[in-house]
């Protein structure tokens, strides 16, 4: 269903659905929560409606760079290594 003219020309109901699901995902809502709210029955549908926006990618990279995404109980130097033969 598209709107007529004016400032919402070309806006479809599903555009709003994509936006809401994307914001829930970026806000940290679990997949199960999003699926329940959206009425999705499969992971495939969740992936169809959620999109990772550039700002979310930048935030994740900033956290990685500042060390916020390190394992909670081990530093990278303490993690076991496995010899490759």
User: Residue 71 — very low, low, confident or very high, per pLDDT cuts 50/70/90?
Assistant: low
- The confidence score (pLDDT) of residue 82 equals 56
Q: What is the pLDDT of residues 10-57, one digit of tens each?
A: 888 888 888 888 888 888 888 888 888 888 778 888 888 877 788 888
- The confidence score (pLDDT) of residue 85 equals 46
Alpha carbon distance 21, 27 (integer Å): 10
Residue 74 has pLDDT above 80, yes or no: no
- The confidence score (pLDDT) of residue 12 equals 87
- Higher per-residue confidence, 40 vs 3: 40
């Amino acid at each position: 269903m598209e709107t007529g003219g004016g400032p919402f020309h070309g806006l479809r109901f599903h555009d709003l659905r994509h936006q809401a699901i994307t914001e829930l995902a970026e806000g940290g809502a679990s997949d199960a929560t999003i699926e329940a709210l959206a009425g999705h029955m499969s992971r495939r549908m969740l992936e169809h409606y959620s999109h990772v926006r550039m700002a979310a990618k930048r935030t994740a990279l900033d956290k990685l760079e500042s060390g916020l995404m390190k394992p909670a109980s081990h530093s990278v130097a303490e993690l076991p290594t496995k010899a490759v033969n």
